[in-house]
Amino acid sequence: MLEIKDLCVSYGAIDAVKGISLKVNDGEIVSLIGANGAGKTTTLHTITGLVPAKSGSITYDGHDLLKTHANKIVTLGMAHVPEGRHVFTRMSVQENLEMGAFSLKDQSSLGKDLEMVFDYFPRLKERRRQLAGTLSGGEQQMVAMGRALMSHPKTILMDEPSMGLSPLLVKEIFDIIVTLRKRGITVLLVEQNAKMALSIADRAYVLETGKITMEGKASDLLHDEKVRKAYLGA
């Protein structure tokens, strides 16, 4: 289980996250929705050790993540699919995926793991030798997700997977997130596409200018008047 308590994060004088608490139970999809600048990415970056916290706590399966180095956090079973994908553009698709396995002490399952990723994303198999920088946005999202899967994660943090993708591709990517959960992977999903994020999540939190303003069952939030007006264009 991932648990955040009273987390505050600042960039110099800018308070980006102002005392949030949230929980992600094993096997859940939890969505964190909110407008631009609400602090969603900052929250994910703090969980994975890329940005320091000012105060509060983050624990994951009993480990204090605020005292754990980013590269150790991966070995605890937490993978991060960053906003904007950040694929290694001058490396092939397969090399990108192999980079995701760097944290594994035992590399003997590399071949099998690649096949597992190609099973999720057949399009990547056809393009395994193509330079990742020449892929479409949707294909790069698949590489970023596949790279995360190569580290055998128990939990995946996904930052805006729908960004810049056509509705058809968004559906494809979200279907895969649902499949990941069916196979036992826990997902914390940050999204501006609130409709899609709420439609696949078990629970959700609404973040507004660094504070959690609403939380509950995703299906309840999807039908909530305030959420519909603010985030669903209703």
Q: What is the x/- site pattern for ligand ATP, positions 72-91, by CB under 6 A?
A: -----------x--------
- Find the helix or strand (DSSP H, E) in which 199 lies: helix 194-200
Which residue is listed with tokens 């507004």?
208
Q: Which amino acid is at 182?
A: K
Which residue is listed with tokens 């519909």?
228
Kindly report the backbone phi and psi dihedral angles of residue 66, in degrees, each rounded to the nearest multiple of 5, phi listed first: -70, -15
Q: Find the shortest distance in angstroms from Cβ 47 to ligand ATP.
A: 12
Q: Find the shortest distance in angstroms from Cβ 170 to ligand ATP.
A: 16
Considering the rule CB under 6 A, would residue 192 count as an interface residue with ligand ATP?
A: yes
- Closest CB to ligand ATP among residues 40, 127: 40
| Tokens representing residue 60 in the block | 């994951």
- Closest CB to ligand ATP among residues 40, 152: 40
Please choose, out of 10-18, 146-154, 177-185, 196-204, the segment that lies near ligand ATP by the rule CB under 6 A: 10-18
- Nearest residue to 157 via CA among 49, 10, 64: 49
Q: Find the shortest distance in angstroms from Cβ 14 to ligand ATP.
A: 5
Q: Among 6, 25, 37, 167, indicate the residue that binds ligand ATP (CB under 6 A).
A: 37
Q: Find the shortest distance in angstroms from Cβ 69 to ligand ATP.
A: 20
Q: What is the x/- site pattern for ligand ATP, positions 149-178, by CB under 6 A?
A: ------------------------------
Considering the rule CB under 6 A, would residue 40 count as an interface residue with ligand ATP?
A: yes
Q: Among 34, 49, 100, 146, indicate the residue that binds ligand ATP (CB under 6 A).
A: 34
- Find the helix or strand (DSSP H, E) in which 181 lies: helix 167-182
Considering the rule CB under 6 A, would residue 38 count as an interface residue with ligand ATP?
A: yes
What single string gives the DSSP state of each residue in 20-72? EEEEE-TT-EEEEE--TTSSHHHHHHHHTTSS--SEEEEEETTEEGGGS-HHH
Q: Which residues of 92-121 are buried (b: 16+ CB within 10 A; e: fewer)?
A: bbbebbbebbebbeeeeeeeebbeebbeeb
Binding site for ligand ATP (CB under 6 A): 11, 14, 16, 34, 36-42, 83, 192
